[in-house]
């Protein structure tokens, strides 16, 4: 396993919301980044999102260097072999177990044997994902929070066969990206989504059943529990499709207390996924 001091190039699989956010924070921390996705349009969209995010942060005085210098450290590609240059890889593809296992089998073949392979999964088993490789001891969960450039936390999730030095490396690497970490065992939902998904779904049910309007549900939770967002606004920011996928996974693993709210399903079927589509429980520019 490579030491933190050996890391020069960070590989990121996936150029979507989470992937481009991880690529951005890695480049901001001074690393060269290779961000790979399966289609060039996904890559370009991810790079455009990074440009927009860096511009906003620069306007707010939250960058220590010119955004162009940060952006120059990020290479977008559709070539899987480009990840051979990476000293650590973080996968942030779609939340689908079969897809992730295929990706990790590919990464196992294209990267050096001493490269740590991390997954950004929010609910899926690290142990099962790692089983697609011949180096399960080097596979770990690095669950970044959304939006990655803004949120301070990263959940380090330890698989059944993850080696202790890899756990230490994961904490140190996340902290080097400017994040704070906590650690969870490889149980469904880990810490965050195990607690968060029932909270969001109950907020949606309260709204659907007419307990209060959407603003008062969110206002009641922000003022009553001192959280920065209420459940409906937070669901829109996470993405209702992500909320649905996570809830369905936890429902399968842990039972009816994690059953997704009907209104979440209906909005996903309608294509109203939250902020990223311009409409969820609220409407956005």
As annotated, the active-site residues are 122, 143, 155, 193
Q: Is 276 annotated as ligand-binding? A: yes
Q: Is 279 annotated as ligand-binding? A: no
> Edge-to-edge strand order for the sheet containing 74-77?
74-77, 32-36, 9-13, 88-91, 116-119, 139-144, 153-158, 180-185
For 222, other C-beta atoms within 10 Å of its C-beta total 16
Q: Is 15 annotated as ligand-binding? A: yes
d(CA 27, CA 148): 13
d(CA 82, CA 204): 43
Q: Is 14 annotated as ligand-binding? A: yes
Q: Is 100 annotated as ligand-binding? A: yes
Q: Is 5 annotated as ligand-binding? A: no
Counted residue by residue, the chain has a size of 285
As to burial, measured by CB atoms within 10 angstroms (0-12 exposed, 13-18 middle, 19+ buried), residue 207 is: buried
Q: Is 37 annotated as ligand-binding? A: yes
Residue 84's φ and ψ, nearest 5 degrees, are: -65, -20
Q: Is 123 annotated as ligand-binding? A: no
Which of 125, 127, 91, 131 has the alpha carbon at shortest distance from 111?
91
Q: Residues annotated as binding site?
A: 14-19, 37, 95, 100, 122, 146, 276
Q: Residues annotated as binding site for NAD(+)?
A: 14-19, 37, 95, 100, 122, 146, 276
């Amino acid at each position: 396993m490579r030491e933190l001091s050996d890391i020069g190039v960070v590989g990121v699989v996936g150029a979507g919301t989470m992937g481009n956010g991880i690529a951005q924070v890695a480049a901001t921390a001074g690393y060269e980044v290779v961000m790979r996705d399966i289609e060039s349009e996904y890559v370009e969209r991810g790079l455009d999102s990074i440009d927009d995010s860096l511009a906003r942060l620069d306007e707010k005085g939250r960058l220590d260097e010119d955004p162009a210098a940060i952006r120059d450290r990020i290479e977008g590609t559709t070539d899987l072999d480009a990840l051979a240059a990476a000293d650590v890889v973080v996968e942030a593809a779609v939340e689908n177990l079969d897809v992730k296992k295929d990706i990790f089998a590919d990464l196992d073949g294209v990267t050096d044997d001493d490269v740590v392979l991390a997954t950004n999964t929010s609910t899926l088993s690290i142990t099962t994902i790692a089983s697609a490789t011949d180096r399960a001891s080097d596979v770990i969960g690095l669950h970044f929070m959304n939006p990655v450039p803004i949120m301070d936390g990263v959940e380090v999730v330890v698989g059944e066969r993850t080696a202790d030095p890899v756990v230490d490396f994961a904490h140190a690497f996340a902290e080097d990206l400017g994040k704070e970490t906590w650690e969870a065992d490889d149980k469904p939902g880990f810490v965050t989504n195990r607690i968060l998904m029932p909270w969001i779904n109950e907020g949606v049910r309260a709204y659907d059943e007419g307990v209060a309007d959407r603003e008062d549900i969110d206002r009641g939770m922000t003022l009553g529990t001192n959280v920065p967002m209420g459940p409906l606004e937070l669901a829109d920011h996470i993405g209702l499709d992500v909320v649905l996928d996570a809830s369905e996974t936890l429902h399968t693993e842990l039972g009816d207390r994690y059953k997704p709210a009907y209104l979440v399903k209906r909005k996903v079927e309608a294509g109203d996924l939250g902020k990223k589509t311009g409409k969820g429980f609220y409407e956005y520019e």
